Amino acid sequence: MQEDSTHFGFEQVNPQEKTRRVGEVFSSVASRYDLMNDLMSLGIHRLWKRYAVHVAQIKPGAHVLDVAGGTGDMSAHFHRAVGEEGLVIVSDINNAMLSEGRDRSLDRGVNTGMQYVQANAEFLPFKRNIFDCVCIAFGLRNVTDKDAALRSMFENIKYGGCVVILEFSKVVLPVLKQLYETYSFQLIPRLGELIANDKDSYRYLVESISMHPDQDTLKNMMETAGFSCVEYYNLSGGIVAVHKGYKL
C-alpha cells in the first residue's frame, strides 16, 4: 500500500504531488538531459552505463525492458547486445523524455528491434514472465513507490532472468564524500541554471540522490520484492552502484 507521504527532494509531499512534480522536472530538462549528464559527470556516466550492460550479460535474441529509459542511452547499448533477433522495449512515464529517446534512436538509424511505451514503473503494462532482463538506470530514485516498482519489474521477468539497477548511491570513500557533496549541492544547480535554464529541477535531482536508499537498503528492498542472489558493485567510490538480482 502506498504511504500517505513521500519525499520530493528534501520536501515531504503526498504521492500524487511527487508524481506530478517529477513529471514537470523531466519535461523541463528533456532536451538538455544528455548534455547535462555529460557535464555533471564529466562523461563518466557513459562508462557506468556500459558497465551496467556488461553486468546484465545479455545474449543475442534476448528481450529487454528498459524502464525509465528516457533519452535512450541504455537502450542503445542493449539494442546492440540483443542483435537483430532481439527486442528492446523502452518505457518511461514521461512523454517528453520518451519522445526525445525515440527521436535519437531514429537519428542513429535504429528502425527495428526497438519499441516505446509510455508507462508507470509501478504498474508496468506487460505480460508476466516475458523479459530476459529488466533494467532501470538513474530512474528508481524518482519513482514514487519504489517497492511497487520493484515488484512490477519482478513480475515481468522470466524465471532465470535478471534485473539490473544503475543508480546514484552512497559514497564509501570518506575523502571523496565531502568533495562530492560540495560539488553536487553547489555546482550542479548552477550548471542547471546556465545550461538548461532550470536551477530548481537540478536542485531536486541532487536532493533526490541524497534521499535515495543506500546500497544495502536497496539490496534488502530487492530481496523483499522477490529477487534472489542480489549483489551490487560500487563504481567511482560508491557515487553510483549497479545492483543485480535474479528471478528464480
Contact 169, 212 (CB under 8 A): yes
| Domain residue ranges in the chain | 21-173+213-246
Instruction: Report, as an integer, the average pLDDT of 28-47.
Output: 81
What phi, psi does 124 have (nearest 5°)? -65, 130
What percent of the chain has pLDDT above 70? 98
Q: Between these two residues, 60 and 113, which has the higher pLDDT value?
A: 60
Q: Report helix, strand or coil for 189.
A: helix
Q: Which three cell numbers stand for residue 210?
A: 541524497
Report the pLDDT value the prediction gives residue 80, as an integer from 0 to 100.
Answer: 93
Q: CA–CA separation, 153 vs 203, rounded Å?
A: 28
Give pTM, 2 decimals: 0.91
Across the range 41-60, mean pLDDT stands at 94
Give the model confidence (pLDDT) of 201-248 as tens digits: 888 888 888 889 999 999 999 999 999 999 999 999 999 999 999 999
Average pLDDT rounded to a whole number, residues 166-190: 90
Q: Quote the DSSP letter at residue 43.
A: T
pLDDT, position 125: 95
Give the tens place of pLDDT for each residue, 1-18. Answer: 445 778 777 877 788 888
* Mean pLDDT across 135-149: 95
Give the pLDDT of residue 22.
77
pLDDT of residue 39: 81
Provide the pLDDT for residue 52: 97
- Angle of helix 146-156 relative to helix 215-225, nearest 10 degrees, comes to 50
Percentage of the chain beyond pLDDT 90 is 58
- The three-class DSSP label of residue 120 is coil
| pLDDT band at residue 23 using 50, 70 and 90 as cut-offs | confident
Q: Give the total residue count for the chain.
A: 248
Single-letter residue type at 210: S
Dihedrals phi, psi of 48, to nearest 5 degrees:
-60, -45
| pLDDT score recorded for residue 3 | 57
CATH of domain 21-173+213-246: 3.40.50.150
Q: What is the C-alpha separation between 60 and 78, in angstroms, rounded?
A: 10
- Of residues 97, 98, 154, the one with CA closest to residue 122: 154
- Rounded average pLDDT over 176-195: 86
Residue 209 CA: distances (Å) to CA of 18, 43, 123, 139, 214: 15, 18, 23, 11, 10
> What's the gap between Cα 115 and its chain centre?
18
Neighbour-count burial for 151-166, b at 16+ CB within 10 Å, e otherwise: bbbbbbbbeebbbbbb
pLDDT of 169 reads: 95
22 burial type by CB count under 10 A (0-12 exposed, 13-18 middle, 19+ buried): buried
- Range picked from 67-81, 107-121, 152-166 for highest mean pLDDT: 152-166
Q: To 10 degrees, what angle do helices 44-56 and 33-41 make?
A: 100
